[in-house]
Amino acid sequence: MTAQQGFHASQGWWFRREDDGSVRILAPDSMGAGAHQALTLDAGTWASAVASVSVAGGSGETHRAALTLHDGPAGP
């Protein structure tokens, strides 16, 4: 993955939002240079992860807030 394709967190860890709202995570693999591990999380799972590491902790309220941040506010 390159900078145009996602966010480089550090040490070969990349994060990218896909067109369907899922989040793809690409991580360096212990198998050696050039090998990678990939994981794709749906929007709800991604929001759960974000909420669970927030200072307020994982709850229905923080999950909804993370999902709103991810998806944008609901329409009128």
Confidence of residue 3 (pLDDT cuts 50, 70, 90): very low
Q: Which residues pair with 41 in a beta bridge?
A: 23
Among 25, 18, 27, smallest CA distance to 49 is for 25
**Same domain assignment for residues 63 and 28:** no
Which amino acid is present at 55?
V
Task: Give per-residue pLDDT as tens, 32-76.
Answer: 776 678 999 999 999 999 999 999 999 999 999 999 999 987 755
Helix (H, G, I), strand (E, B) or coil at 73: coil
Q: What's the number of domains the chain is made of? A: 2
**Same domain assignment for residues 12 and 37:** yes
Task: Give per-residue pLDDT as tens, 6-34.
Answer: 999 988 889 999 999 999 999 887 667 76
Res 1 pLDDT > 60: no
Q: What is the domain extent for residue 3?
A: 1-41
Confidence of residue 5 (pLDDT cuts 50, 70, 90): confident
**Same domain assignment for residues 12 and 34:** yes
pTM reported for the whole predicted model:
0.78
